[in-house]
Amino acid sequence: MKVVITGGSRGIGRALVERFVKEGHMVCTCSRSEESLKALWEELQRTDRVMFKGCDVGNRLSAKDFINFCAKHMKEFDVLINNAGILGLRESIENYPEDVWEEVIRVNLNGVFYITKYAIPFMKSGGVIINFSSGAGKRPAPYWGAYAVSKFGIEGFSLLLAEELKNRDIKVYAFNPGATRTKMRADAYPHEDPNTLKPPEKVADFVLRLISLRPPSGSIDFYE
C-alpha cells in the first residue's frame, strides 16, 4: 500500500510509520521538524520505503507542497492518515488566549482540510482516510478549549467527507485512539504515570486492522 501519514516524527504517527514500513508498505510522512524525520529514517536504515518532508499542515502552501511531494514519489495513495495535531492549553473559554486558539484551529482543523483537499485527487478507489479525533471531540470536555472544538470539527468533517466520497468507494473514519503514551498526553497530564498507558504501537496495530477490515465510514474508538 501507499500511505500518507502526517506528524510521523514521534508518538502515534511515528509508530504508524514504523509499522507500515515493517509490513512492506510505502510511506510518505511529514512534521514541522525535518531533522526528527531524518533521524527516524536513519533508524530505519535509510529505507527507500519512507519519504519525508518538513511541513506545517496548517499552512496551505506547505501542505500542498507536501502532498505534491508524496504524489511525485507514489503517484496514488491507498491510505491518508491525518494524525498531526497540537494540544494548545487546558484553560477555560473565558481565559483562553486568542493566539493559542487560532493556532490550534489552524493546525488541527485547517491542516486536516488542506491535506485532505490536496490529497483527494490522488486517492485510489477502495482507499481509506483516517482523521485523528479524540474523546474530547465527542462529549463536553471543559477546559480543553480549542483542542476539543477542533476535534468536534474533525468528527463533522469526517462525516460529511464520507458522504462526498461514498461513490468513489473511499472510507472515511474519525478515529479516537484513546489515552496513549506520547508527549502530547504527558503534556496534558503531567502528573500521570506514563507506564499506566498503552504504547503507540497498540494504536498502530489497531489502525492496520481497521484498514484491512474497512468497516462502514463513521466515528471509531480504539478498543482492545
Ligand X SMILES: NC(=O)c1ccc[n+]([C@@H]2O[C@H](COP(=O)([O-])OP(=O)(O)OC[C@H]3O[C@@H](n4cnc5c(N)ncnc54)[C@H](OP(=O)(O)O)[C@@H]3O)[C@@H](O)[C@H]2O)c1
Residue (of 47, 44, 66) closest to 55 by Cα position: 66
**Torsion angle of the four alpha carbons 139, 95, 179, 206, in this order, in degrees rounded to the nearest 10:** 70
CA distance 88 to 101: 7
Q: Is there binding between residue 29 and ligand X (CB under 6 A)? A: no
Q: Is there binding between residue 158 and ligand X (CB under 6 A)? A: no
Which residue number, 30 or 123, has a Cβ lying nearer to ligand X? 30
Q: Is there binding between residue 177 and ligand X (CB under 6 A)? A: yes
Q: Is there binding between residue 107 and ligand X (CB under 6 A)? A: yes
Q: Is there binding between residue 44 and ligand X (CB under 6 A)? A: no
Q: Is there binding between residue 84 and ligand X (CB under 6 A)? A: yes
Helix axes 111-119, 145-165, angle to 10 degrees: 20
| Annotation marks residue 143 as catalytic | no
Q: Is there binding between residue 56 and ligand X (CB under 6 A)? A: yes
Annotated catalytic residue: which of 147, 173, 189, 223? 147
Q: Quote the cell numbers at residue 14.
A: 511515528
Q: Is there binding between residue 31 and ligand X (CB under 6 A)? A: yes
The minimum distance between CB 60 and ligand X, in angstroms, equals 12
Q: Pick from 3, 4, 5, 7: which binds ligand X (CB under 6 A)?
A: 7
- With a CB cutoff of 8 Å and minimum separation 6, the contacts of 8 are 14, 16, 17, 27, 29, 30, 31, 37, 40, 52, 83
Distance of CA 194 to the CA centre of its chain: 21
Provide the annotated active-site residues. 147
Interface residues with ligand X (CB under 6 A)? 6-7, 9-13, 30-33, 36, 55-58, 83-86, 107, 111, 132, 134, 176-177, 179-180, 182-185
